[in-house]
Structure 1
């Protein structure tokens, strides 16, 4: 039988570029072990990002890369995935029970940020992660309705000072809507809102989360600054539409996160096209290629584009977001592709080192 070396197998694996990582699995440090035996070759991968729906395709792709070298040997590809914790800013303690915190933000309201957040969270869970959602929009919380939490359902308490997150569709969640009547307006000034957000975050008993997604309120105000200065946020995702005014505000959001040293993983362009339910004709109602332009300008990436679709709105309003309501649909597959890329991009940033605590200076000309 033809002799084969580990270096040859590594070279074959290195020739395959993973679509989520945008690099080879060898370069990403995912190849944990290679065993060469008389009748088989075993490659063990340990991924630092989640992509459960692609495991079979990944096995097939790597087997095709290695098989020409294997001759009559059987090729076996083993895959495990283990999300690592982001080190975070040096002077900010980590959040108990949470490995990584991802802020999902937008410069303005009405771009579908909350819908994107809940579907992104469900997509990460479908890919094998343990995920939670914190609804940080104190004035207009919506995650409870989107997750199908009944009005009046309250979280259980522990030790008379902690909340247990409400679990729906496998997601742990906390929202101001769980604590007050949904018709009660939050007539609070900024410091009270920031304090409430910190309490929701720190007094919730999150259970072994790989990712906690924070559904941010629109804008660049008190809650955003509080989050950046006092919470070890791993990274941010910006949601926008192709509309020029939305892009202008999205730029402000990116600049804000950059000023406080929170990396922006990329842009999600929502409502990119309208697809006619009768004839299938696609029309860019809010403009075209806006997300791509802003990603190029700020040297980040366009994580994905989502259509303006009636079914996404109907399913989310009914408390069963698209990824749960119709997991095999084209829309759900787009959310999963974005989730895989977010997980992979964060793992890549983790390998490059953590953030540092920024000094924020206000200068008056």
Structure 2
């Protein structure tokens, strides 16, 4: 997700380090990275097997069929093709909260996971819709942004939907019921407030919003965004701060192990974690929720990973491991 737009502001000066028991310890030196790796393994995050097939398994026939095709596509795309967030106005297409067909058994049987693919490929064609203001609990912000893209035009929206579909396949194999906020099945949207509402209405056990950053070249790595404690207006994140942090730490640990990608060198003080109080998608959530920025689409080294289908499969696997670990307790 680009830090240009309503929910995505320019990086602020480094925050105080997050020193939780499951902090991802990575510094520039190789020994530090090794220590971080060992710390995550020592805390016992899930090492569930989640080898994922790219075959769609739910009832959304046409959307799922295209998902399977996109899952192995490493090609580039013009800045209009991808997926993402958009408005809460009139919808075009099927429901944004398409439900998967849950597997008959598995460790996540009975659990509901909402996956939120950031942005929407059609957002750029609907500027008046995505620029309209919505209430994020503490104040008003634009509905959404178009997201970012690589210099070659591979969009964040396409990336997020591909990773999300891969993640859905893995989670369904673990027995979870998976719902999407959008599945490339609407012209734009939903807005950030509607995205939060989808997770709330689903009674989700966990919600993960998938993104990629649009920071400066040289800024590398992933980070997981956690909700800060907000109690203002219609926003009250106090009940979800602790479980969301646990979810975020586990997702960060799983992502690090599966992808080998280091935590961000420009946000989170090397922890891979960042707490924010200005994101409507978090402020309005009443269930555990985190965002993950999988890498920087403006850095050539990160782009090599983000545009690789094999790497995106690892990203989905790592995120799923964190979710499984969190839900199994």
TM-score normalised by L of structure 1: 0.32
Bigger relative contact order, structure 1 or 2 (CA pairs below 8 A, ≥6 apart) = 2
Larger Cα Rg: Structure 1 or Structure 2? 1
TM-score normalised by L of structure 2: 0.34
Bigger proportion of residues as strand: 1
